[in-house]
Amino acid sequence: MATMTVRTTVAFDPATAARLERLAKRWGISKSETMRRALEKAEKEAALETDELPDFTGMSPIEILDWLRDNPSPPVPGGWGDDPHRELREMRDADARIEEEREYERLGRRVAETDTPYGS
């Protein structure tokens, strides 16, 4: 837990105060620690959104790996989340369905053009 050095008073609307209380209870920590963690996470996310990166040239390889572990890259648009194997399988299945529909469409056009069954 961080050492308290500055006392700050904040005012929340009832819904935000209740949210802070619930989150602190769920995490089993004080409301102050909850706010510290939330602020740290928000700051990291804001840094990633602005492509703000640390100066890797002054970091050791271990420090770089630690930073990368603590700051995972955001998901690729339309891409990978928590289970990339499942998502890849779903994408392949969707592609297979699209190809199947295209083949039926081509077959249907061929039948209509030749006026024979199955385009023979």
Q: pLDDT tens, 3-36?
A: 667 788 888 888 888 888 888 898 888 888 888 8
The Cα–Cα gap between 57 and 54 comes to: 9
Domain for residue 5, yes or no? no
Is 37 within a domain? yes
Q: Indicate if 97 and 120 belong to the same structural domain.
A: yes
Note whether 31 and 61 are same-domain residues: yes
User: What's the rounded Cα separation, in Å, for the pair 11 and 9?
Assistant: 7
Range of the domain at 91: 81-120
- Show contacts of 60-63: CB within 8 Å, 24+ apart: none
User: Is 6 among the domain residues?
Assistant: no
* Same-domain status, 112 and 62: no
Query: Domain count of the chain?
Result: 2
Q: What is the pTM of this model?
A: 0.39
Residues 57 and 87 placed together within one structural domain of the fold: no
Q: Does residue 88 belong to any structural domain of this protein?
A: yes
Q: Mark whether 20 and 63 lie in a shared domain.
A: yes
Q: Is residue 55 included in any domain, yes or no?
A: yes
One domain for residues 67 and 22: yes
Mind listing the pLDDT tens digit for each residue in 59-82? 888 888 888 888 776 555 555 566
